[in-house]
Chains A and B, each alone.
Chain A
Amino acid sequence: MSITDLFVLIPVIVIAATSVVIMLTIAFHRNHLMIFLLTFFGISLAFSSFLIIEPYVPHRITSLLILDHYGLFYLGLIFSASLVVTILSYNYLKECEEDHEEFYILLLLATLGSSILVMSIHFASLFLGLEILSVSLYAFIAYLRTREHSIEAGIKYLVLASVSAAFLLFGMALIYSELGTMELHQMTARIATISNPKILLFSGLVMIIIGVGFKLALVPFHMWTPDVYEGAPAPVTSFVATVSKGTVFALLVRYFTQMNIQNFNSLFIVFTLISIASMFVGNLLALLQNNLKRILAYSSIAHLGYLLVAFLASGSTAIMAVSYYLVAYFVTTLGAFGVISVLSGKDRDADSLAEYEGLFWRRPWLATVFTAMILSLAGIPLTAGFIGKFYVILAGVKSLLWFLVIIMIINSAIGLFYYLRIIVAMFTHPKSEEVPLIASSVSLSEGFILTLLTLILIWLGIYPSILIDIIEHLELV
């Protein structure tokens, strides 16, 4: 490991160091604002270090990690999302009675795990990153432990994530026994010589799909999602929905696109089935919910199904489509959960649909932001979600995946039902007996971040060229 290796790792090191600094600071003095600022500046510092490491990209760090433009892009996405979650959490936690400070350590550790995941090119670093992410998420999800459902959500995630990790490990072992290596590029080279995978390799790959499927909440590995979404505090949910899922998807694209896994007919069928099931199950079950967080949970299952369509399209358009869609999805999801967390109060989150009735007439600005986010999830023009969906369909049509594209369209129509339900609720006139929202006032930073997210959402929907210029160069090395 050379000095340059360490130098390129600066963003990750900064994140890790910040968490240590915070831990030590807490030992001396507990101050919520100070810890928040430390976290904020730590992540910002890691982000700004991109400027100095950019000339060295792409750079390989031992056989475990690589920092290419693809990795750098997702690092940026992770850090931005973490910054938004940090700001949302600060205001959210102020109202809660727990000790707040450790929350930020968990946030930083989860960010660290995600960062390693998007740079990993070796099964060892993959597993390491995934475990750092998962372990911090167990505690993160159950953080407000006195609340209803909180512990339940944490335990559920713990059990299922451990099981999925076991699957993943077993899959890795099987692949190793067949290929004799755990390094991505060597695996790619060896797999290229195999036209028909043997049963061991095949089952190894399927086990990896299962493990990853749990993390991504793809059907049929999705059972945990609604409960965890509901039980976790809103900012944590937004983190699970965006950073955790987004990085694992980026990982999936890196490994499987390079191995050209879509070329194996059997695996292609597996992914197609998973994608179709995710779209249908996600959208259909969302129709039955009355809890906003659960609706968003099922909707995220469906969105991952859409993403798989782009993933299956493979090729450079697929990477662009996935990247664009993920950016749009990050902005939208953070915005939606941002509104929920702003409206949430001391004892529980504002997650029942009834609480949103007439929101537009009481809190026009929040309702407008939320409407924009929901419309983006539904893929309506002028929002980022529209271009994202357009890109996915573009990738699908380019690779002639007609069947999947048609399924996706049917599902978009189904999805409209529950997205419109949310919007309708916000626009109905409040009934005579006013539903008391637990909401407090919107703080300056929250208002700023929500406005910013909305502007980005519309900007990406109207003028996507700048983002397209960036994602065009995301080659996998």
Chain B
Amino acid sequence: MILLWIIIIPLLGGLLAWLSGRWSQLWPRWVSLISLAVQMALFLIILTEHFGEIQISGRPWLVQFDQPWISKLGIHVNLAMDGLSLLLVLMTNFLGIMAVACSWTAIKDRVGFFHFNLMWTLAGITGVFLAIDLFLFYFFWEMMLVPLYFLIGIWGYENRVYSAVKFFIFTQASGLLMLVGILGLYFIHGRNTGIYTFDYMQLLGTTLSETTARLFMFCFFIAFAVKLPVIPFHTWLPDAHTEAPTAGSVDLAGLVLKVGAYGMLRFLIPLFPKVASDFSPIAMTLAVVGILYGAILAFGQTDLKRLVAYTSISHMGFVFLGIFTWNTLALQGAVMVILAHGISIGALFILVGVIHERIHTRDMNRMGGLWATAPRMGGVGLLFALASLGLPGLGNFIGEVLVLIGAYQVSIPLAVFAGIGLITSTIYSLWMIQQTFHGPNREGWKVSDLTGREIAMMTAMIAVVVWLGLYPQPVLNTARESLNNLQQIVKKELVAEYSEGFISVKTGAP
């Protein structure tokens, strides 16, 4: 039941925020904050209750909630949480609070409706991370789109409508493809066993002919690849990220992209292990292309926000690489990158928003020398730029290095090329700092430094990134058993077919 409340609370909070927006600008903000705090409290309850169980192997879920929904079609409200989803929903909640906080002064228009959309997006994302009924998963997957669309389309920058529509159509169409895949799986499983169900645990290990499996995997892959994004499905991303309001960008880059990664990790590979293993060389190549391509394009930008958006493509390439490498190290690395990148990219977008709020431009050619008047802002910016370039001691480093080590065991050339991504990220990160905070102050900006609220937000985010970088063990422990379970599922499928071959079987845990 507690899992259901985790989703219901932001939904209710959103409705309340909308209603309270009629009377005051301030109430929606507080209502949203309070509902997120309540949600956080629920997580803490789960954490304390099940803390000891996280590292026990062989347990599929920590908490589960299962209730028939549309019983005629075998659809259940089936929510479950393991270590992996726990980490992801915690990040969702954390970034949600940041999103509310960073809109505190930036959003002055239709505050109630804004927070309604924000909270419903968060609820949809949380739902995706918790749902293990495939229909329910699809339901949440689509549910988060409309509020996000409104966030971008109403409160975005100049070109918002175009970007919002593009984002919506890309994700909707690819989502429908996934629905076809889900339904195909549902019917084939039903015909094989006589049980028509959307339950993830039961659908695992459905016997499929190779062609069908390939088609279905393709359906799922497109949906996840658009979200992640994988080259060449990425074109919605720079537009949507750039035009969205700060809170929207934080949600998009910090959470929505992760939904795609989570889908691959939880659904795509475990459901279709054989074809996924055949596909993995192509996928890993695409990932490396994405890492380099994103970095090069990022370097070519003059719009600060667009630059940050392109770095996302590059960093998510590491996640994608890690997932399709599918050995313990790479998977743990992928989870680390998901978390660290979520926080650091969120912080960078908030900083861009902070700068834009003060000087009303995102053009880097007009910036420069901001450090002199706003040293704190500069310091924070530098720290997150360093995080993004993978400086040891910060979370992103741990994740990217783990992915690279994992990938090295599978394919040395790909790991080497992906490693070049670390160098390119150094170039664009430092160049970004150089352009904005250092150099001559071209237009004589005198910006006020970070306010107390902004400092509080940044402190929290810095704390998380530093903690992830210096002492990642608790996080890795939390995710380990869930990743282990996923690997076991895949291994069981593969051993029957291949004596050796798929990467995970070959390398195993170090």
The interface of chain A, by Cβ under 8 A from chain B, is 361, 375, 380-382, 386, 390, 393-394, 397-398, 405-406, 409-410, 412-413, 416-417, 420, 424, 427-428, 463-465, 468-469, 472
C-alpha spacing A465/B75, complex, angstroms: 10
Question: Apart from A397-B180, A416-B165, A468-B70, what 13 extra A-B contacts exist at CB < 8 Å?
Answer: A381-B143, A386-B142, A393-B176, A393-B179, A409-B176, A412-B172, A413-B173, A413-B176, A416-B172, A417-B165, A424-B161, A465-B70, A468-B73
Cβ of A472: which chain B residues have Cβ within 8 Å of it? 72
Given A393-B179, A409-B180, the answer on whether A427 and B173 have CB atoms closer than 8 Å is no
Could you show 25 A-B contacts with beta carbons less than 8 Å apart?
A361-B110, A380-B142, A380-B145, A380-B146, A381-B140, A381-B143, A386-B142, A393-B180, A394-B73, A409-B177, A409-B180, A413-B173, A413-B176, A416-B168, A416-B172, A417-B165, A420-B149, A424-B161, A427-B150, A427-B153, A428-B161, A463-B69, A465-B69, A468-B70, A472-B72
Which residues of B approach A to under 8 Å, CB–CB? Answer: 69-73, 110, 139-140, 142-143, 145-146, 149-150, 153-154, 161, 164-165, 168-169, 172-173, 176-177, 179-180, 183-184, 187
- A397 to B184 alpha-carbon distance, docked (Å): 6
Q: Name the residue on B nearest A378 (C-beta).
A: B172
B-chain residues with CB within 8 Å of residue A390 when the two chains form the complex:
179
B-chain residues with CB within 8 Å of residue A410 when the two chains form the complex:
173
B405 to chain A, nearest CB (A): 40
* Residue of A375, A394, A406, A463 most packed against chain B (CB within 10 A): A394
Q: How far is the CB of B157 from chain A (nearest CB, A)?
A: 14
Provide the bound-state CA to CA distance between A416 and B69, in Å.
Answer: 28
Q: Does the CB pair B72–A465 fall under 8 Å? A: yes
Contacts of A375 in B (CB 8 A): 146
- Nearest-neighbour CB distance to chain A for B140, whole angstroms, equals 8
Contact (Cβ within 8 A) B154 A427: yes
A424-B162 Cα distance, complex, nearest whole Å: 10
**B169 touches which of A382, A406, A413, A469 (Cβ 8 Å):** A413
| B residues near A361, Cβ cutoff 8 Å | 110
Give the 8 A-B CB pairs with smallest separation, nearest first: A413-B173, A397-B183, A409-B176, A381-B142, A381-B143, A468-B72, A416-B169, A381-B139
Residues on A with beta carbons closer than 8 Å to the beta carbon of B143: 381-382
In angstroms, Cα B182 to Cα A405, docked, is: 13
Once the chains are docked, how many angstroms separate the CA of A405 from the CA of B165? 23
Q: In the complex, are the beta carbons of B165 and A412 less than 8 A apart?
A: no
Q: Which residues of A contact B142 (CB under 8 A)?
A: 380-381, 386
Cβ contact within 8 Å between B172 and A413: yes
Is the pair A405, B180 in contact by a Cβ cutoff of 8 Å?
yes
With A427-B153, A465-B70 already in contact, the answer to whether A406 and B180 are too (CB < 8 A) is: yes
A380 nearest in chain B by CB position: B146
CA distance A410 to B177 in the complex (A): 9
For the complex, what is the distance from the CA of A380 to the CA of B69, rounded to whole Å? 18
- State whether A393 and B183 are in contact (beta carbons under 8 Å apart), knowing that A380-B145, A413-B173, A413-B176 are contacts in the complex: yes
* Complex contacts, B176 vs chain A, CB 8 Å: 393, 409, 412-413
Closest-by-CB residue of B relative to A427 is B154
- Could you tell me the distance between the alpha carbons of A381 and B147 in the complex, rounded to whole angstroms? 12
Contact: B183 with A394, CB < 8 Å? yes
Decide if A424 touches B173 in the complex (CB within 8 Å): no
Distance to closest chain A CB from B179 (angstroms): 6
CB distance from A337 to the nearest CB of B (A): 22
Contact of A420 among B110, B168, B184 (CB under 8 A): B168
Instruction: Give the CA-CA distance A375 to B145 in the complex, in Å.
Output: 11
Smallest CB gap from B172: residue in A? A416
Q: Which residues of A have CB within 8 Å of B140?
A: 381
**B139 contact set on A, CB distance < 8 A:** 381
Query: CA separation between A410 and B71, bound complex, in Å?
Result: 29
How far in angstroms is the closest Cβ of chain B from A316?
A: 12
Cβ contact within 8 Å between A424 and B69? no
Q: Which residue of B lies closest to A394 (CB)?
A: B183
Measured CB to CB, the closest approach of chain A to B123, in angstroms, equals 11
Interchain CB contact under 8 A, A424 and B153: yes
Question: Contact between B165 and A469 (Cβ–Cβ < 8 Å)?
Answer: no
Q: How far is the CA of A39 from the CA of B314 in the complex (A)?
A: 66
A63 and B142 alpha carbons, distance in the complex (Å): 49
**Chain B residues near A428 (CB-CB < 8 A):** 161
Task: Enumerate chain B residues within 8 angstroms of A405, measured Cβ to Cβ.
Answer: 180
Cα A432 to Cα B179 with chains together (Å): 44
Task: Give chain A nearest CB distance to B380 CB in angstroms.
Answer: 34
Q: How far is it, in angstroms, between the C-alpha of A424 and the C-alpha of B153 when the chains are bound?
A: 7
- Shortest CB distance B163–A (Å): 12
- Select A464's contact among B70, B161, B179, B183, beta carbons within 8 Å: B70
* Chain A residues, Cβ within 8 Å of B168: 416, 420
- Interchain nearest-CB distance for A323 vs B (Å): 13
* A409→B180 CA distance, assembly (Å): 9
What is the minimal beta-carbon distance from A356 to any residue of chain B, in angstroms?
15
How far is the CB of B15 from the nearest CB of chain A, in Å?
12
| CB-nearest residue of chain A to B120 | A382
Closest to A387 in B: B70
Q: Are A469 and B72 in contact (CB under 8 A)?
A: yes
Least CB distance from A403 to B in Å reads: 12
B239 to chain A, nearest CB (A): 15
Instruction: Provide the residues of chain B in CB contact with A409, threshold 8 Å.
Output: 173, 176-177, 180
Among residues of B, the one whose C-beta sits closest to the C-beta of A425 is B161
- Chain A residue with Cβ nearest B162: A424
A397 and B187 in contact, given A417-B169, A468-B70 (Cβ under 8 angstroms): yes
Q: How far is the CB of A387 from chain B (nearest CB, A)?
A: 8
Taken together as a complex, chains A and B put the C-alpha atoms of A413 and B161 apart, in Å, by 16
Chain A residue at smallest Cβ distance from B109: A429
A123 CB, nearest partner CB in chain B, Å: 35
**With the chains together, A465 CA to B139 CA distance in Å?**
16
A417 to B168, CA, bound (A): 9
Residues of B within 8 A of A380 (CB): 142, 145-146
Closest-by-CB residue of B relative to A383 is: B146
**Chain A residues closer than 8 Å to B169, beta-carbon distance:** 413, 416-417, 420
**Contact yes or no, A412 B173, CB < 8 A:** yes
